[in-house]
Amino acid sequence: MSQITLTFPDGNTREVPQGITPAQVASDISTSLGKKAISATVNGAHFDLQWPIEKDASVAIHTMQDDEQALELIRHDLAHIMARAVQEIWPEVKVTIGPVRDYGWFYDFDREEPFTPEDLGRIEARMKEIINARDAVRTEVWSRDQAIAHYEKTGEPYKVELVNRIPEGEPIRMYWHGDWQDLCRGPHLQHTGQVPADAFKLTHIAGAYWLGDSSRPMLQRIYGIAFKNRNDLKAHLNMLEEAAKRDHRKLGREMGLFHMQEEAPGQVFWHPNGWTIYTTLQDYVRRKQRAGGYNEINTPQVVDRKLWEASGHWEKYQHHMFIVEVDESRDGEHDDAAAKSREHTRINALKPMNCPCHVQVFNQGLKSYRDLPLRLAEFGSCARFEPSGALHGIMRVRGFTQDDAHIFCTEEQIQEECARFIDFLADIYRELGFPEFEIRFATRPEKRVGTEESWDYVEGALENAIKATGHDYVLEPGDGAFYGPKLDFYLTDAIGRVWQCGTFQVDPNLPERLDAGYIAADGERHRPFMLHRAVLGSFERFIGILIENHAGKLPLWLAPRQVVVAAIVSDADDYCREVVAKLQAAGIRAETDLRNEKINYKVREHSVGKVPYILACGMKEVEERTVSVRKLGEKQTSGATLDEIVDRLRTEATPPDQR
RNA sequence: GCCGCAGUAGCUCAGUGGUAGAGCGCACCCUUGGUAAGGGUGAGGUCGGGAGUUCAAUCCUCCCCUGCGGCACCA
C-alpha cells in the first residue's frame, strides 16, 4: 500500500498509509485526541472519522471544542435520530430528507395521519432513549443499484428518488444508527451518545412540498433546534421569546397603530398613531427625494386592461391583479344586472406596479435628450392579489404604497444614476438607523431578452457603479429579471435579521413595449432606458421593520406620541395644559394625562405604550415651573425647567435630515 | 394556493349537548396619590359565517371566511 502525506494546521506533516481514516490519525497523535475527536476537515471538506483519506491532504481533527463542526454534527445526527424515533413509533412512515438549518434541523416525513403537538413530546422521549443507548454509527459506500434495490425492498420511494438524483461519481453513503439505516452524505458522530440529550427541542410541525416543488406531494416537516449544552438552548429559547415581544402585530395593537379585519384581508386600517409614523416617514422621504433630483408625480389606481396588455402585465401578472369590471351603460343609474351587456363592460385592473403609468407621464409631450435623466417619483398605492398564505401582518399585504421612482435615461447615464442611487439609499438607511446593508447583484438569467453586448454593457455599468461607491456586493448569477440585471439591498436589523428593501433594476423592455422615446442630439428618436428603484420598498412593510427593529421604542422624531405630561395631583392640571401648549407650539406631539389615577399607574401605562418621554408635574413643579422628566426605558428621573425641556425635545425630535 | 392548528367581551384566555366565565381595559363613584397597576360598583358577547345532526348546538359533522406556523409564491 502506498504512503500519503498529511499536513496539519501547525505545519507538521506525517507519512501515513493510503486509506487511513481520520479516527486512526487522531489516535496516532494521542490517545486522548483519539477519544475526543468528532470529525475532521480534509482538504477543506468536513470529513467523517470513518472515511478513508486517499491522497495527500491537509487535515485538521475536530473535537467538541470546535463549535461550527460540533453543532453541525449534533444537529445532523439529531435529524437522523428523530427520523429513527419516528419510524420506531410509526413504522409505516416514509422518510425523506433532513438537513441542518438555522439553529437546528428539520426532517420531512410522508405519513397519512397528521403529527400533533403531543406527538412531539413522544418523539422527543424516544430520541432521548436512542441517545442514551449510545448506538454506534457505521457507514458504508454502496453502489447505486444496491441502494435502489434496498430502498425498493424496504418501501422507501423517496429514498429511491434521492439515490437516482445523486450525480454520477459521487459516493452513495449509507449510515446506520444501531439497526436503523438512512441514506446520508454525512459526516456523522461516532455513536448516538455523543449528542447532548438535554440541549435540543422539537419546535413545530408544518407542511412542506417534496423537493420544494408545489406540484409534488405535501409532506410533514418537523423542526427542531439543538445546541451543545442546556444553557445555550435556554438562551436561544429566551431570544425567541424576545423576538416574539417585538412582533409588529402585537406592538401595533398595543401602541394603537393600526388594525386589520377580515373584510379587507391584507390591507391596513391605519389609526391616528400609526398614520403619524407613516406620514412622518413619508414627509422625510419626500424631502430626501426632492433634494435627490426627483420629480414627484401621482398616477391613477384603476387602469384599463389595454395598458396592462401593452405593458405585458396582463399576460404575465394577471393572477396577481385585482380585476375591476364596470358596466358603463349603467351611467350612474341602478340597473338590473341582466342589463349588463358585454360590449358595455369595461375591464380595469388596480395597478400592481407604477411603472406603466410612469411611462405614460414620460410619453406626454416630446422629450429631448436634454430632459434626461428624468427621475419620476411616486408614493404609488398598489394592489396585488397576494396568495392567502403569503399574507403576514403589515409586512406582506395586498394593498401597499411604494416609495417608487423610475429614472428615464440613456445607456451611458446608467452607471452614474446607479452610483447616485446607492449613495442616496445608503444615506437614508443610515439616517433611519440601519448603517449595515448588503448589495446583491443579480445578473443575466438563462431566459432573457436583449443582445449579449447590451447585457455586457449594462452589467458592467452596475458593477462599476457599486465599485465607485465603495461598497462590497454579493454576486447572484442568473437571478436578474428577463429584461435586465438588478441590485437588491438587504438591511440588517437590531437582532440580526436581514430584510430586502431597496432595489435597482435596469429595464430596456418596458420603454420598448410602451413606445417611449426621446429626441437625441442627432435629431433621431431613441429609446430611453428605464431604471426601476425603491429604497424602503413599501411603507407598510418598512414600518413593520422599524417597529420590530426598535421593539416599538421608535426614535423620538418617528414616535407617534412623543410626550405625555402627567399630573401628579389635580391641582397641577392647569400647569400641565400650559406645558403641553408650549411643547405643541414647538412642534412636538404632546398630550396631557389628567386622569384621576396615581402617577404610578400613568407611568406604567405610558411606558407600556412606548411613549418616549413622560413629564410628571406635581405641586413642586408648579411652584418651580419645572418638569420631572422620565425617559422611556430609564428608571431614573431628572428635573428640567420648562425652557430646557422644550429646547431639548425640539432638538431630539428633529428629523435626521434637518439636523 | 398547499399542509396543519386556531377563531368565545376591546385585549389575553377559561368553559359546557340545556343560549357563558375570569383578568386586564372601559364607564361611574370614592380616593389627590411623587415615577411600572389604590379601592368599589357597573356596562359589555346571535361564542367567525352558513348548512346539517338533535327535543335542544357556542360545544358534534360538513362547507366557507379570516388568522397563526411552515411550504410554495414575491414577473
User: Is residue A303 domain-resident?
Assistant: yes
Question: Is residue A642 helix, strand or coil?
Answer: helix
Q: Of the listed A69, A181, A301, A402, which one is catalytic? A: A402
Question: Distance of alpha carbon A608 from its chain centroid, rounded?
Answer: 27
Residue A628: per-residue pLDDT: 97
Domain that holds residue A616: 563-658
Which nucleotide has its C1' atom closest to residue A630's CA? B35
Distance A208 CA to B20 C1' (A): 39
Half-sphere exposure of A379 (CA within 13 A, CB side): 13
Give the relative orientation of helices A144-154 and A157-165 as an angle to the nearest 10 degrees.
Answer: 170
Distance A53 CA to B75 C1' (A): 48
Among the listed residues A461, A175, A87, A514, the one whose alpha carbon sits nearest the alpha carbon of residue A314: A514
ipTM over 0.85: yes
Distance A251 CA to B21 C1' (A): 27
Helix (H) or strand (E) segment spanning residue A315: helix A313-316
Q: Of the listed A358, A384, A396, A610, which one is catalytic? A: A384
Residue A497: per-residue pLDDT: 87
Whether A658 is catalytic: no
pLDDT per residue as tens digits for the range A478-518: 999 999 999 999 999 988 889 999 999 999 999 999 999 99
Q: Is the CB of A466 under 7 A from strand B?
A: no
Provide long-range contacts, Cβ within 8 A and 24+ apart, for A12-20.
Answer: A16/A53, A18/A52, A18/A53, A18/A54, A18/A55, A19/A52, A19/A53, A19/A54, A20/A52, A20/A53
Q: Is the CB of A598 under 7 A from strand B?
A: yes
Pairing of strands A563-567, A590-593: parallel
Which nucleotide has its C1' atom closest to residue A262's CA? B66
Residue A331: per-residue pLDDT: 58
Q: Tell me which of A517, A546, A575 is where a domain ends.
A: A546
Question: Distance of alpha carbon A649 from its chain centroid, rounded?
Answer: 34
Which nucleotide has its C1' atom closest to residue A626's CA? B34
- The letter for the amino acid at A640 is A
Q: Is the pTM of this model over 0.80?
A: yes
CATH of the domain at A578: 3.40.50.800
- Please give the tally of structural domains in chain A: 4
Q: Is the CB of A633 under 7 A from strand B?
A: yes
Residue A598: per-residue pLDDT: 94
A497 and A380, same domain (yes or no): yes
Q: Of the listed A159, A406, A602, A606, which one is catalytic? A: A406
A323 and A363, same domain (yes or no): yes
Give the relative orientation of helices A452-469 and A414-431 as an angle to the nearest 10 degrees.
Answer: 40
Distance A261 CA to B67 C1' (A): 10
Helix (H) or strand (E) segment spanning residue A207: strand A200-209
Instruction: Give A471's DSSP letter.
Output: -
Residue A1: per-residue pLDDT: 66
Residue owning grid cell 448603517: A435
Q: Tell me which of A519, A546, A573 is where a domain ends.
A: A546
Among the listed residues A47, A321, A259, A86, the one whose alpha carbon sits nearest the alpha carbon of residue A171: A47
- The letter for the amino acid at A90 is W
Q: Of the listed A80, A532, A561, A589, which one is catalytic? A: A532
Distance A42 CA to B21 C1' (A): 66
Phi/psi for A575 (5° steps) reads -65, -40
CATH of the domain at A111: 3.30.980.10
Cell (9 digits) for A445: 438569467
Query: CA–CA separation, A604 vs A260, rounded Å?
Result: 27
Whether A336 is catalytic: no
A19 and A88, same domain (yes or no): no
A388 and A489, same domain (yes or no): yes
Distance A320 CA to B13 C1' (A): 38
Whether A358 is catalytic: no
* Strand B nucleotides, any atom under 7 Å to a protein CB: 1-5, 7, 11-12, 29-38, 65-73, 75
Residue A328: per-residue pLDDT: 74
Cell (9 digits) for A509: 423592455
User: Is residue A347 domain-resident?
Assistant: no
User: Is residue A297 domain-resident?
Assistant: yes
CATH of the domain at A20: 3.10.20.30
User: Is residue A335 domain-resident?
Assistant: no
Residue ranges of chain A with per-residue pLDDT less than 50: 338-339
User: Is residue A339 domain-resident?
Assistant: no
Instruction: Annotate A108-173 with three-state secondary structure.
Output: EEECCCCCCHHHHHHHHHHHHHHHHCCCEEEEEEECHHHHHHHHHHHCCHHHHHHHHHCCCCCCEE
Distance A98 CA to B3 C1' (A): 18
A43 and A93, same domain (yes or no): no
Whether A402 is catalytic: yes
A446 and A388, same domain (yes or no): yes
A472 and A596, same domain (yes or no): no
Residue A330: per-residue pLDDT: 63
Whether A119 is catalytic: no
User: Is residue A334 domain-resident?
Assistant: no
Cell (9 digits) for A282: 413619508
A207 and A302, same domain (yes or no): no
A48 and A196, same domain (yes or no): no
Query: CA–CA separation, A532 vs A539, rounded Å?
Result: 17
Query: CA–CA separation, A361 vs A358, rounded Å?
Result: 5
Bind-site residues of A: 355, 406, 532
User: Is residue A554 domain-resident?
Assistant: no
Query: CA–CA separation, A196 vs A227, rounded Å?
Result: 8
A144 and A223, same domain (yes or no): yes
Q: Is the CB of A285 under 7 A from strand B?
A: no
Q: Is the CB of A269 under 7 A from strand B?
A: no
Which nucleotide has its C1' atom closest to residue A204's CA? B69
Query: CA–CA separation, A551 vs A561, rounded Å?
Result: 15
Query: CA–CA separation, A181 vs A183, rounded Å?
Result: 7
Cα first-last separation, chain A: 76
- Chain A 71-130 residues whose Cβ is under 7 Å from strand B: 114, 116
- The letter for the amino acid at A73 is L
CATH of the domain at A482: 3.30.930.10
Residue owning grid cell 445608503: A426
User: Is residue A468 domain-resident?
Assistant: yes
Query: CA–CA separation, A92 vs A540, rounded Å?
Result: 46
A91 and A209, same domain (yes or no): yes
A278 and A317, same domain (yes or no): yes
